[in-house]
Structure 1
Amino acid sequence: MEIMIFIIFFVLVFIATFALWKYIHLKHDVYEYTEKLDTAINYMLKNEELKTSPYEKDDLWGKIYDRLVRLSYLYTHKNLEISEEKDKLKELVSDISHQTKTPIANIKLYLEMMADETDFDRNQEYLKKMNGQVDKLDFLLQSMVKMSRLETGTIKIQKQNAPLTDTLAMAISNVVIKAEKKNIKIDVQYDERLELNHDKKWTTEAIFNILDNAVKYTNDGGNIHIVVCRQELFTKISIEDTGKGIAPERQATIFTRFYRELEVHDTDGIGIGLYLARKIITLQNGYIEVQSQVGQGSTFMIYLPNQD
């Protein structure tokens, strides 16, 4: 009987000891887990990305830490994207303010001059100049809307297999009048049977923007030569002009939003056409190259993929 009591007592003591040891060990694990979690959260609050390799054990903390690492990556990069978007927005607002400042100031000036002017013919001249400034503002706002809708994905590129002839014809028709006024000859070399999977509307816009620049910066009596050829991977649309040309050090910046060279500031334009052209072609998995020398004209080459 005494032996039985002793055994039971011994078992109870063992169970109590084991329970105490388990409690202490569990308490230690909880404290350690809490400290690790607190450290990880503090890292994330400081916008510091968690390291990916210090915990290799396949335990609860290892699993939680792996998820925290992924969350930290998303959190850090999302904050970076937000910061970049804010910078872009600030830059865009600054650009818009700069571009609209001059025409608005001119309109106000013409209105003030008209208020003091009694001569009808002079007032008609002021009205004509004001109308030109309004047209410039209208063109700027339309371009900004196009750019915004493309960049934000409001408008999706909708590609379909269609003759490239129609796209070229629409783009050329929009610059023919300007070209005729400057006696600029436009000739095209292409295969009428050529079809391409592309967004007809936006590709027309891209080609037009390049052609518009070619007409704008080519002197009277110049030439614009368009050649379309199908290569192994891409269809190439080459637009060559006999204009003023572009210095090599500036060729990387001409596709920047609102970029205009100093020599052409007196020429109509806001410096957004080439930016839009590259954006449109890039969204179709294509690209644009330029070759040019000052005084010897420029060649813009649009490459659109044959298959996507």
Structure 2
Amino acid sequence: MAGLIGAVVGLALLSVFLWMRMRRLKKEIYSFSDLLETCLDEMILGQKLEEPGAPGDFLWDKIYGKLEQVYRIQQRQNAQSAAEKEQMKELISDISHQTKTPIANMKLYLDIMKQEAGGEERQKEFLQKMEGQTEKLDFLLQSMVKMSRLETGVIEIRQRPDYLKPTLGRAVAAVVPKAEKKNIRLSVECGDALQVSHDRKWTEEALFNILDNGVKYTPEGGTIDVFVSAQEFFVKISIRDSGKGIAAGRQAAVFQRFYREPEVHDQEGIGVGLYLARKIITLQRGYIQVQSQEGQGADFQVYLPYDREKSQFRETFQL
């Protein structure tokens, strides 16, 4: 009899324990779901994620840690999206501003041609001016497309180990006709076996833009010298001209989009070449700097990442 009573009491105690355990578990589940819902609501609203009195168990700590990671990723993506939208707004504003002048000029020339009777030579003059404005507009829009694609990542820079001299040679060849018209002497020093990881097409574009800028602002009979040297961690491409030079206070500004020096507004150009060059080199983990003094020319120095040991190994293996 005593054994039976003990068994009944034991079962009763077990039932009470299980009931209390279930009640506690149910309470923890409700608390957990409330905490999870609060955190998710904060994430949806974009509010700062704060732990609202966590129960202190391992599962919640683990889940909350994951939620924090998701929240940080979401915030980074939102910030990146906002930055891209701001860039696009600036680009659209720049397009609107920069296209006004050539379009207005073309309309003006058309109006004058309509009003003037006869004057075939005069009409030819205006047609030539309109052709020049059309070419400027076309160049501007092409530059805008390149900028927007580079900035938004539509165009992917593909760096591969390759000889640098052919890339540099194509860029130099593209500016030779303009240089010959101004009797500017071009010289290039670059080792035949020098290899560096770079995107041939876009690196050529960047170097051409710097060279073209040098030809544009170097006077008749001037010089442009290109020197390439391999350093410990970078290959340095120095493009030195004998042009008008750049004041110290303006040297950072020359890489800004649409920047043009005040005293050269009569020269052709829209001020995007150096901006594009820096963007292209930066996307290849390199950088550009300029050293200059007024009246003493400018030295644009392009630095591309370089691994001397790997380059020497490739040269030996190929030989």
Fold match (TM-score > 0.5): yes
Counterpart CA distance in 2 for 1:62 and 1:161 is 47
SS in 1 for 2:63: helix
Q: SS in structure 2 opposite 1:258?
A: coil
**Is the contact made by 2:235 and 2:305 (CA closer than 8 Å) also made in structure 1?**
yes
For 1:189, the equivalent position in structure 2 comes to 189
Quote the residue 1:261 is aligned against.
261
Give the distance between the partners of 2:285 and 2:85, measured in 1 at CA: 27
User: SS in structure 2 opposite 1:290?
Assistant: strand
Q: Helix, strand or coil: the match of 1:294? A: coil
CA distance in 1, matches of 2:36, 2:183: 74
2:86 is equivalent to residue 87 of structure 1: yes
1:180 pairs with 2:180: yes
SS in 2 for 1:254: helix
Residue 268 of structure 1 and its aligned partner are, at CA, apart by: 1.5
**Corresponding residue of 2:150:** 150
Match of 1:26 in 2: 25
Partner-residue secondary structure (3-state), 2:255: coil
Residue 169 of structure 2 is matched in structure 1 by: 169
Q: 1:75 to 1:161 in 2, by over 3 A?
A: closer
Q: What residue is the counterpart of 2:122 in the other structure?
A: 122
The answer to whether the Cα contact below 8 Å between 2:35 and 2:54 also exists between their aligned partners in 1 is no
SS of residue in 2 equivalent to 1:239: strand
Could you tell me which amino acid in structure 1 is paired with residue 258 of structure 2? F
Give a deviation string over 1:89-126, Cα, whole Å, max 9, x none. Answer: 11111111111111111112212222212221111111
Partner of 2:317: none
Which one is further off, 113-122 or 145-154?
Answer: 145-154
Letter in 2 for 1:96: I
Determine if contact 1:50/1:73 at 8 Å carries over to the other structure: no
Instruction: Sort the Cα spacing of 1:17 and 1:8 in 2 relative to 1 into closer, same or farther, 3 A.
Output: same
The whole-number CA distance in structure 2 between the counterparts of 1:248 and 1:43 is: 49
Query: Does 1:224 pair with 2:232?
Result: no
- Of stretches 220-229 and 149-158 in structure 1, the one that deviates more from structure 2 is 149-158
Distance across 2 between alignment mates of 1:69 and 1:289: 40
Q: How far did residue 186 of structure 1 move?
A: 1.8
**Percent same amino acid at aligned positions?**
52
Secondary structure of the corresponding residue to residue 299 of structure 1: strand
Q: Is the 8 A contact 1:203 1:281 kept in 2?
A: yes
Q: Deviations over 1:272-292 (max 9, x none)?
A: 111111122222222211101
Q: Distance in 2 between matches of 1:190 and 1:59?
A: 62
Contact kept, 8 Å, 2:223 with 2:241, in 1: the verdict is yes
In structure 1, distance between residues paired with 2:246 and 2:299: 10
**Cα distance in 2 for residues equivalent to 1:153 and 1:82:** 13
CA contact 1:167–1:203 (8 Å) conserved in 2: yes
Q: Is 1:281 matched with 2:281?
A: yes
> Aligned runs of 1:66-81 on 2, under 5 Å?
66-81=65-80
| Cα separation, 2, equivalents of 1:136 and 1:143 | 10
Secondary structure (helix, strand or coil) at the match of 1:91 reads helix
1:50-96 C-alpha deviation (Å, 9 max, x unpaired): 358x8695522122111111111111111111111111111111111
Cα RMSD of the aligned pairs, angstroms, is: 2.5
Deviation at 1:209, TM superposition (A): 0.4
TM-score normalised by length of structure 1: 0.89
For residues 169-216 of structure 1, what are the alpha-carbon distances to aligned partners after superposition, in whole Å with 9 as ceiling and x for unaligned? 221222122222222222223334434443222222111100111111
Measured after TM superposition, the shift of residue 8 of structure 1 is 5.2
Give the counterpart letter for 2:102 in structure 1: P
**Bigger shift: residues 168-177 or 17-26:** 17-26
> Retained in 2: the 8 A contact 1:43–1:49?
yes
Give the letter for the 1:277 counterpart: A
Q: Structure 1 residues 55, 227: CA separation in 2 closer, same or farther (over 3 Å shift)?
A: farther
Look up the match of 2:238.
Answer: 238
* Structure 2: gaps of 5 or more residues: 311-319
Judge conservation of contact 1:234–1:306 (CA < 8 Å) in 2.
yes
Identify if the C-alpha distance between structure 1 residues 195 and 23 changes in structure 2 by more than 3 Å, giving closer, same or farther.
Answer: closer
- Of the structure 1 ranges 133-142 and 169-178, higher mean CA displacement relative to structure 2 is found in 169-178
- SS of 1:25's partner is helix
Deviation of residue 258 (structure 1)?
Answer: 2.0
Q: Map of 1:130-141 to 2, 5 A cutoff?
A: 130-141=130-141
How many matched pairs? 307
